[in-house]
C-alpha cells in the first residue's frame, strides 16, 4: 500500500486537511505561486497541513521568462510566501503553455529555476511534469540527470473516486513510464479525487516508500 497525498492551491480553498489526514492521507504539496502570482491561501493550507501532521512540501508553477517575469522575480515571490523558512522543499512545476497551447519552457529555464532556488537556500526535491509536456519541450526532451526526483502526472482514464478507489496499483505500468530517463518517484494518477469532504475534486498522488523516505525526499534531511 502506498502513501497517498494531495496537491492543493487556492482552488481548494476551504479544504480541511485535518480531515484528509484522518481519512488516511499522508502528505500534501501546496502551491506557492503561479509565476509572480501569489497563491492567496498558501499560508492557511500550510498551517492546516502541518498542524494535521501531514508530510508537507510546496510547489512553484514556473512561468517562462518570455511570459513577462524573470526567474529571479518569481523566486522573490517564493521568498515572500516562505517568510524566511527554508525547511520546506520546493518542487518546480513544468507545464506552462501560451494561450494557443504552445509549450513555453525549455530545459535551460528549468535549470535556471533550480539554481535560483538553491542559491537562496531552498531544497529542490525535483520536477513535476507530464509526458505531454516534458517530451515535447522546445529543444527536445531534457534529461532528468541532476534535477532530482520526478513527480509525474499520468491519469489513465481519470475517473472519479477516492484515493484507494482510483489507485492503479504498485505494479501499474505508469510507475515505469520515464521522463528524461527517470522513472516516477511520485505518481499523480488522477485529478478527480474526492477527499476530506471537499465539494469539488482534487489531484491525488501516491508514493511507494516509507514516511521517513518521503520526509527525506521533501526536505533533503
- Domain range holding 153? 3-219
Residue from 145, 159, 153, 65 nearest 113 by CA: 65
Residue for cell digits 515571490? 77
Summarize pLDDT for 105-116 with one digit per residue, the tens.
Answer: 999 999 999 999
Cβ–Cβ < 8 Å for 195, 167? no
Predicted local confidence at residue 184, as pLDDT: 99
Predicted local confidence at residue 106, as pLDDT: 98
Q: Quote the CA–CA distance of 37 and 140 in Å, as a whole number.
A: 28
pLDDT < 50 regions, the chain: none
Predicted local confidence at residue 108, as pLDDT: 98
Predicted local confidence at residue 37, as pLDDT: 99
Predicted local confidence at residue 114, as pLDDT: 99
CATH number for the domain harbouring residue 151: 3.20.20.80
Per the structure, the count of domains in the chain is 1
pTM of the model as a whole: 0.98
Predicted local confidence at residue 166, as pLDDT: 98
Predicted local confidence at residue 23, as pLDDT: 98
Predicted local confidence at residue 174, as pLDDT: 98
Residue 186: alpha-carbon gap to chain centroid: 9
Predicted local confidence at residue 81, as pLDDT: 99
Amino acid at each position: 500500500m502506498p502513501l497517498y497525498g494531495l496537491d492543493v492551491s487556492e482552488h481548494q480553498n476551504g479544504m480541511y486537511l485535518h480531515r484528509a489526514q484522518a481519512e488516511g492521507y499522508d502528505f500534501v504539496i501546496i502551491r506557492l505561486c503561479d509565476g509572480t502570482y501569489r497563491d492567496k491561501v498558501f499560508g492557511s493550507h500550510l498551517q492546516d497541513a502541518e498542524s494535521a501532521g501531514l508530510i508537507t512540501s510546496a510547489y512553484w508553477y514556473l512561468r517562462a521568462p518570455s511570459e513577462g517575469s524573470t526567474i529571479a522575480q518569481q523566486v522573490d515571490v517564493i521568498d515572500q510566501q516562505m517568510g524566511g523558512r527554508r525547511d520546506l522543499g520546493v518542487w518546480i512545476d513544468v507545464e506552462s503553455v501560451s494561450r494557443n497551447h504552445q509549450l513555453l519552457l525549455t530545459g535551460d529555464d528549468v535549470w535556471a529555476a533550480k539554481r535560483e532556488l538553491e542559491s537562496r537556500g531552498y531544497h529542490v526535491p525535483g520536477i513535476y511534469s507530464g509526458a505531454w509536456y516534458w517530451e515535447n519541450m522546445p529543444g527536445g526532451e531534457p534529461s532528468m540527470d541532476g534535477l532530482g526526483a520526478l513527480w509525474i502526472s499520468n491519469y489513465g482514464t481519470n475517473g472519479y473516486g477516492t484515493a484507494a478507489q482510483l489507485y492503479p496499483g504498485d505494479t501499474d505500468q505508469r510507475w515505469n513510464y520515464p521522463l528524461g530517463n527517470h522513472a516516477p518517484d511520485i505518481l499523480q494518477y488522477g485529478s478527480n479525487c474526492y477527499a476530506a469532504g471537499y465539494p469539488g475534486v482534487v489531484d491525488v498522488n501516491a508514493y511507494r516508500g516509507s514516511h521517513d523516505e518521503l520526509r527525506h525526499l521533501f526536505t533533503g534531511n
